[in-house]
Structure 1
């Protein structure tokens, strides 16, 4: 059921950056809504002192090969990439320490209501609990794509071992919006127009975000 829903979400997007199939936006949704915390009994207040310098990353920080993935948490293609292709990249290249893998936000946004709040919530998890928690939260969030809610984000927080109320506060007040927009500006300077956009040592992966294509680009650098 989940895989079918993700496929439907991805179906309407067209060509992104440098020939890579991906999401181009056309933002839907109503921004500025107050977050419904669902079953979580949270009194939301603006988080203090967010770590705006935090960069979600995995692998060897000194690796010769650096992979940057520009993503929008409301892009169906980004969900497909993260849930169906990134696990292979992680197993073959990240976990053995062969590369450094970095997440960069690029809120197009596909959905104006959720793109920045989910990105902010994810960054908050990583800043407080570390990179593994960030990627665990991101995976759980992508699994809920298309039905984002305070309830879904709280559940994703629990999956990552994070405080649901802190995550919901980050989603409500988006303290990491500036960091996400800075990522987006850097992506635009690199030529990103759609997501996901994958770069290997500064060069865009051509033609596809499939694990095979990304792996070939990494192997060429290794």
Structure 2
């Protein structure tokens, strides 16, 4: 059975922030998996692309991640800084972050990150880094954590609440998640597409380094 956008939206509902007190996860979307092309990966479905590096780079690395995913957090802490230093900051690749929330907290975190960044990719990556560094497993009230992160970024509590009530951004995140699964075959986090080459899981820097170098030589 294919899970519809309505079903996922209901599962991840942010109405009244009630879902932020829940730690339940939803089942992955069951759909026919299809291999995407580099063009599919580079073009966002609904939301403005959050990316670092030149638009015309020969290599694009696209990360699909969920903020509450511990493997994603480990990659963010240990591997992404090395990729950024070696390839993004030197202008050799473009790095795209795509939200693939696995639970209501991850969805809310992505909504808040988008709100704080307000279209600024550098700021978005900085806020996302802060989100990844939270120990979500320890908190029974993740709403308080989101409010704290918002305050660190200059928002007061009411502004954070207003951000989290943005159903338009939330629905677009859900739409992009459905697209990533049904069109690109993404069903776990973190998953990476290096142009059309796929890497699943928290792979070490050496794996990315090898694959990126091979593509840059083409």
Normalised by the size of structure 1, how large is the TM-score? Answer: 0.68
Specify every segment of 5 or more residues in structure 2 that has no aligned partner in the other structure, as ranges: 1-10, 19-45
State the 1:106 CA deviation.
1.1
Whole-angstrom distance in 2 between the partners of 1:174 and 1:215: 38
Q: Secondary structure at the match of 2:61?
A: strand
Structure (1/2) with the larger helix percentage: 2
- Native 8 Å contact 2:190 2:201 kept in 1: no
Moved over 3 A (4+): 29-36, 164-168, 172-175
Residue number among 87, 99, 122 corresponding to 2:113 in the alignment: 122
Q: Confirm or deny that 1:179 pairs with 2:156.
A: no
Q: CA RMSD in A?
A: 2.5
Whole-angstrom distance in 1 between the partners of 2:166 and 2:202: 35
**Matching of residues 123-202 of structure 1 within 5 Å:** 123-126=114-117, 128=118, 130-146=120-136, 147=139, 149-159=142-152, 161-164=153-156, 165-188=158-181, 189-202=183-196
Q: Secondary structure at the match of 1:34?
A: helix
Residue number among 183, 198, 203 corresponding to 2:197 in the alignment: 203
Whole-angstrom distance in 1 between the partners of 2:214 and 2:159: 42
Q: Confirm or deny that 1:57 pairs with 2:51.
A: yes
- Native 8 Å contact 1:141 1:152 kept in 2: no
- Native 8 Å contact 2:62 2:192 kept in 1: yes
State the 1:156 CA deviation.
2.5
Normalised by the size of structure 2, how large is the TM-score? Answer: 0.70
Count of matched residue positions in the alignment of Structure 1 and Structure 2: 174
Whole-angstrom distance in 2 between the partners of 1:207 and 1:150: 28
State the 1:62 CA deviation.
1.5
Q: Secondary structure at the match of 1:218?
A: helix
